[in-house]
Structure formats: C-alpha cells, structure tokens
Amino acid sequence: MEQEIDQLLSNNYAASLAYVSVTVLALVIYLYLFEFVTRYKCWQEIKRGNLAVAMATGGKIFGICNLFRFSIEANESVYQSLVWASFGFALLIAAYLLFEFLTPVFRIDEEIEKDNRAVGFIAMIISVSLSYVIGATVT
C-alpha cells in the first residue's frame, strides 16, 4: 500500500494535493487541541470580535502551517512530514505553556480573553517566531 501511495505522490499535482490535505486536516486537529490548552474558547471569542484572541489564534495557525512547511521541505514522504510537524506542534504547545508559566505578572490567557491586544500580539509573535526556530530543527 505504501508503495502505491508513493507512486501516486510521484505526480507533482497529486503530491501537492496530498500535502495540503494532510496539513489542513492536521491544522483543524491541532487547533482543536489548542482549545484544551487555553482557558478561553477561541472561536466564540473571535465571533464576539475579540481581536487579541484572533491575533493569538492567527499566530498559532501561522506557526502550525510554518512547521508543516519546514517538515515538507526536509522530508521525503507525507508520513515523515506529518511525524515531524506533529513533533514540532508538541514543542509549540510546550513553548506556549512555558510562556504562560514564565509570565508571573499576569495570566496570559486571562489577558487575551479580556481583549488585551498587546498580549495577543506578543502571543502571536511568539508562536510565529518559535515556529521558525522549531522548524529549523526538523530533519
């Protein structure tokens, strides 16, 4: 079965479709998992117009997709790319939790939920920046 899939993926159009499909599916799953990490409900807050949540969530989306970009570039198969991007995602979540823990002055999630745009912007920049660092380690 794996040989048939690899043969199918030798076509650039099919490979592109496969990588994008896997990335979109993983993005949905990873954003769902991020919902468990944050104290607020991302999509409810975005629907209410909370720009801080939108920025933080946008940073997560960019970060996750950037991890896939690096893993697709560095690996030869969809499977390897998915494994490395998933590992990168775990590191991104760990970094998010560390950011929350190492900010003793206030609670990051609470400030983002209150629409503190400065905190939402910093959260976005951290997700984007760390995705480049983590992505560079993908082999």
Cα–Cα distance, 27 to 92 (Å, whole number) = 13
**Are 64 and 128 in contact, with CB atoms under 8 Å apart?**
no
Predicted pLDDT at 93:
92
Instruction: Report domain extents, the chain.
Output: 2-137
Between 69 and 5, residue with greater pLDDT: 69
pLDDT digits (tens, 9 = 90+) for 109-134: 899 999 999 999 999 999 999 999 99
Q: State the Rg of the chain over Cα.
A: 17
CA-closest candidate to residue 95, choices 135, 68, 44: 135
Predicted model pTM: 0.88
pLDDT digits (tens, 9 = 90+) for 10-33: 788 888 898 999 999 999 999 999
Place of tokens 């910093």: 122
